[in-house]
Chains A and B, each alone.
Chain A
Amino acid sequence: MRITVDDDLRRSRLTVFFRLLLAIPHLVWLAAWTVLALVAAVLNWFAVLVTTRSPRPLHRFLTAYVRYSTHVAAFVGLAANPFPGFVGDDARYPVRLDLPEREPQRRVLTFFKLALVIPSLLLAGIFGGDAFSYGGIAGVASFLAWFAALATGRMPGGLRNLLVWCIGYSAQLSAYLFSLTDRYPTSDPNQSVREPPPEHPVRLQLDDDGRRSRLTVFFRVLLAIPHLVWLSFWGYAIWLAAFIGWIAALAIGRLPDPLHRFSAAYVSYQGQVYAYLFLIANPFPGFVAEPYPLFVTIDPPVRQSRLLTFFRLLLALPALLIATLLTYVLIVISFLGWFASLATGRMPLGLRNAGAAAIRYLSQTYAYVLLLTPRYPHSTPAVAEPVAGEPARAEPHLPPAEPEAAV
Chain B
Amino acid sequence: MLWVGAAYALWGTRVPRGLDLPSIDLSGKIDQDVVARSERYESFFGFEFIASQLVLLAVLLAYARWGIRFARESAAGRIGTGMLLGMIGLALVWLSQVPFRLVEVWWDRRYDQTDSGYVETLFANWFQLGAEFLFICFALMVVMAIAGRFPRRWWLAAAPVFVALGALFSFIYPYLSTTEPLRRPELQAAARDYAKEQGMEPVPIVVEDVTDFTSAPNAYAAGLGPSKRVTFWNTMLDGRFGDDEVKVVLAHELGHLSRHHIQEGIGWYALFAWPGAWVIALATRRRGGMANPAAVPLSLLVVVGLNLLSLPVYNAISRHMEQEADWVALETTRDPDAAAGLFTNFTVESLDDPDPPAWSHVLFDSHPSVEERIGMAEAWRGRSR
Q: Chain A residues in contact with chain B, CB under 8 A?
A: 213, 215-216, 218-219, 221-223, 225-226, 229, 272, 282-288, 290-293
Contact = CB atoms under 8 A, between A and B. Distances in A.
B77 A286 contact: yes
Nearest to B83: A226
Contacts of A229: 134
Contact of B133 (A216, A222, A285, A291): A222
Given A219-B88, A223-B87, A284 B75 contact: yes
Interface in B40-80: 70, 72-77, 79-80
B84 A219 contact: no
Given A216-B88, A284-B84, A222 B130 contact: yes
A359 to B, nearest CB: 16
A293 B88 contact: no
Nearest to B87: A223
9 contacts: A215-B70, A215-B91, A222-B91, A229-B134, A284-B80, A285-B80, A287-B76, A287-B80, A290-B77
Contacts of A288: 77
B164 interface: no
B88 to A, nearest CB: 7
A292 B134 CA distance: 22
Interface in B82-117: 83-84, 87-88, 91-92
Nearest to B75: A283
B137 interface: yes
Contact of A285 (B72, B76, B126, B134): B76
A286 B74 CA distance: 8
Contacts of A292: 75
B304 interface: no
Given A284-B81, A285-B80, A287-B80, A222 B75 contact: no
B75 A291 contact: yes
B40 to A, nearest CB: 36
Contacts of A216: 70, 73, 84, 88
B360 to A, nearest CB: 34
Contact of A226 (B72, B74, B75, B137): B137
B24 interface: no
B129 interface: yes
B130 A225 contact: yes
A287 to B, nearest CB: 6
B133 A284 contact: no
Contacts of B84: 216, 223, 284
A134 B88 CA distance: 43
A219 B91 contact: yes
A222 B73 contact: no
A225 B74 contact: no
Contacts of A222: 87, 91, 126, 129-130, 133
A213 B76 contact: no
B73 A286 contact: no
A226 B77 contact: no
Contact of A284 (B73, B91, B92, B126): B73
Contact of A293 (B75, B80, B133, B138): B75
A282 B133 CA distance: 19
A290 B92 CA distance: 27
B77 A225 contact: no
Interface in B234-283: none
Interface string B201-235: 00000000000000000000000000000000000
A223 B80 contact: no
B19 to A, nearest CB: 48
A283 B138 CA distance: 20
Top 10 nearest A-B pairs by Cβ distance?
A: A286-B76, A283-B75, A226-B137, A284-B84, A284-B74, A219-B91, A222-B133, A292-B75, A286-B80, A213-B73
A223 B73 CA distance: 12
Contacts of B91: 215, 218-219, 222-223
B338 to A, nearest CB: 46
Contacts of B79: 287
Contacts of B73: 213, 216, 282-284
A219 B91 CA distance: 7
Given A215-B88, A226-B87, A286-B77, 12 more contacts: A213-B73, A219-B91, A222-B87, A225-B130, A226-B134, A226-B138, A272-B75, A284-B76, A284-B81, A284-B83, A286-B80, A288-B77
